[in-house]
Structure 1
Amino acid sequence: MNTVTTRPVRAFVALGSNLSDPEAQVSLAFGELDTLPSTRLIAHSSLYRSAPWGYSDQPDFINAVAEIETRLEPGRLLEMLLDIEHRFGRVREFLNAPRVLDLDLLLYNGLIHHEHGLTLPHPRMHERAFVLLPLTEIAPECVIPGHGRAASHLAACAGQELQRLPQIRSTTETLLQAVG
């Protein structure tokens, strides 16, 4: 099985955390995405605070979306995302459980794909404000294959409250300020 494409493709990854300093976990995960082989981070959204989904007896989540350019095939990319989760300490106790880090492959170059463990586009992304709002922040014209423009689904998510957090400084900016 080939794990690398000949041309880079555009993909979007949702990030979420609600344990062990969630803002830091998501911020560090942006950097991890940029270190994947044959992959570079193009953009990332602001961080958003949202109520838990599915299982409510847990802390609020910090969510974001990253845009990457990659030559990795979707299955290989998903494997590497799961590896990052594992290295961050992700434990899958039960459905919608609290987590240190959650990385979901949302979109991969407009591909519609379904096999065990990987469905593209992500099957419920068009129903979740914590995905749609950060996604449309960095890609306002983004289209979800089979569902249309991502922004057109935001109105249906009006009851899902999200709080945009103040911009975070990059690690480089923080280090430069500390030194200078």
Structure 2
Amino acid sequence: MHAVLALGANVGHRAATLRAAVDALTATDGITVDAVSTFVESAPVGAVPDQPDFLNAVALVTTTLGPHELLAAAHAVEAALGLDRSTKVPDGPRPIDVDVVAYGDVELDEDGLVLPHPRAHERAFVLGPWLELDPHARLPQGPVADLLARVAP
């Protein structure tokens, strides 16, 4: 199955952390990293003011893992790189974030996993890097190119 992962970091050595996350994903059984976008900087989104900008990327992967297994692998990468999910502040600063944005054409909302990611269509820092890797990418809301045109400044 093809999947789209979004990576972001705004604490510590952001670029090194993103590269380490890609390496960790590559080393995970059942995941093949097919492509990684250019790293892009973005302002924080959400209710937590006064935090550093994020460095973001998108990775296209092929996986034999199911969607929940892929999410567990993403969480394992986060933990290995210093994210403590038990103390993570929603929309707050973090050393790494690895989100499952899409898992093929699967749509689901169960057990802590919503696919596609419920806010991906609103986030230029996901849409832009994804479009760079796949100009034909789509979400249920429409082509990624069209969605990016709506949200990009």
1:71 maps to which residue?
Answer: 64
In structure 2, the residue matched to 1:100 is 95
TM-score, normalised to structure 2's length?
0.95
CA RMSD of aligned residues (A): 1.0
Match of 2:147 in 1: 153
User: After TM superposition, where is structure 1 displaced by more than 6 Å over at least 4 residues in a row?
Assistant: none
State the Cα distance separating 1:158 from its structure 2 match: 2.3
Residue ranges of structure 1 left out of the alignment (5+ in a row): 1-8, 160-180
Contact map agreement 2:88 2:94 (CA 8 A) in 1: no
Q: Which residue of 1 aligns with 2:119?
A: 124
The residue type equivalent to 1:99 in the other structure is R
Aligned-pair identity in percent equals 39
CA deviations 1:88-113 (Å, max 9, x no partner) are 11134321110000000001011001
CA distance in 2, matches of 1:126, 1:15: 16
SS of the residue corresponding to residue 45 of structure 2 reads coil
Structure 2: distance between partners of 1:89 and 1:158: 31
Q: Distance in 1 between matches of 2:88 and 2:35?
A: 31
Alignment-mate amino acid for residue 96 of structure 1: D
Aligned counterpart, 1:62: 55
Q: Which has the larger radius of gyration?
A: 1
The CA distance in 1 between the partners of 2:21 and 2:64, in whole Å, is 19
Q: Does 1:88 align with 2:81?
A: yes
Matched residue pairs, number? Answer: 150
Letter matched to residue 105 of structure 1: V
- The CA deviation at 1:28 is 1.2
TM-score, scaled relative to structure 1: 0.81
What are the Cα deviations for residues 50-82 of structure 1, in whole angstroms up to 9, with x where unaligned? Answer: 101112310000000000000000001101110
- 2: distance between equivalents of 1:41 and 1:95? 27
Alignment equivalent of 2:131, drawn from 131, 136, 160 = 136
Residue 49 of structure 1 aligns to a residue in which SS?
A: strand
Gaps in structure 2 of 5+ consecutive residues: none
